[in-house]
Amino acid sequence: MDRHHSRARMIYSLRRLLRNDHPFGQPNCDRCVEFLTATQRIKDLSCGAHQWTSLPVTGIYVSNERRSRRFLIVGYSNPDGPTERPNNLCYCVPLLLDRSVPGGGFKLLACFAPESMVPLSKGLYLENKAVKEDALEDWFRFCGPLERCFWPHETGESPECQGDRSELDPEWERFARAGIFYKDSIDALVKLWSESKKEIQDELNN
């Protein structure tokens, strides 16, 4: 296991441990990014078969709270899966209002703290000639590019396109194995989740 997977395993374990402490994000943590900055950088990550998209959703009530919460649904096409369909990953990221702005204003923040992000879909991977789910591999593939994008000074890596340069043929790069556009597929999944508030609430409460 290389150092990236070791770090991913450590973060994933920490996330599971702290999930109940900060399920809705922390406005003062070092993993908050301004909403417009986050959505633009996520969009800029798209390259070839590696497509990213995000969509905000409001009105989510969880854990018997009387007030609603805001979230950002973030999706990644996650190519190279063993199935004949896009191997999409989708996570729920808390949106927070930071009211500490001088002058009484506020900022909308997306909190990418590991303990606050909730997976909404699972990828499939080939292991020992069997197709399996792998939550750690999902975490590594999804959060690795976001870390390089938002905090490159910590990772020491460039947030450039994840795909091999040989993938950048203008015709090939747009399609999944079943002839479905990678971009269309991940857009449809994120839109579906944004309209499935009860299902989001169930995942957040698990």
The full DSSP string for 81-104 is -SSSS---EEEEEEEEEE--STTS
Q: What is the pLDDT of residue 103?
A: 72
Q: What is the pLDDT of residue 133?
A: 86
Backbone region of residue 32 per phi and psi (left: phi > 0; alpha: psi in -120 to 50; beta: other values): beta
Residue 202 has pLDDT above 70, yes or no: yes
Encode pLDDT of 81-128 as tens digits.
Answer: 555 567 899 999 999 988 777 776 788 999 998 888 899 998 888 888
The amino acid that residue 61 corresponds to is: Y
pLDDT band, very low/low/confident/very high, at 9 (cuts 50, 70, 90): low
Residue 33 has pLDDT above 60, yes or no: yes
Mean pLDDT of 47-65: 87
- 54/56 Cα distance (integer angstroms): 7
The amino acid that residue 165 corresponds to is: R
Which segments within 12-136 are labelled E, that is strand?
32-34, 52-60, 69-76, 89-98, 107-111, 118-119, 124-127, 130-133
Residues 6+ apart with CB under 8 A from 115: 14, 15, 17, 18, 19, 21, 22, 23
Give Cα separations from 149 to 9, 13, 93, 189 (angstroms).
Answer: 20, 22, 16, 22
Residue 203 has pLDDT above 90, yes or no: no
Q: What is the pLDDT of residue 206?
A: 76
Encode pLDDT of 127-186 as tens digits.
Answer: 887 888 888 889 889 999 999 999 887 766 665 565 443 444 445 455 665 567 888 999
Residue 22 has pLDDT above 60, yes or no: no
Write 39-46 long-range contacts (CB < 8 A, 24+): 39/72, 39/110, 41/149, 41/150, 41/159, 42/74, 42/146, 42/149, 44/149, 45/145, 45/146, 45/149, 45/159, 45/161, 45/162, 46/183
Residues 6+ apart with CB under 8 A from 74: 42, 52, 53, 54, 90, 91, 92, 93, 146, 190
Q: What is the pLDDT of residue 167?
A: 47
What size, in residues, is the chain?
A: 206
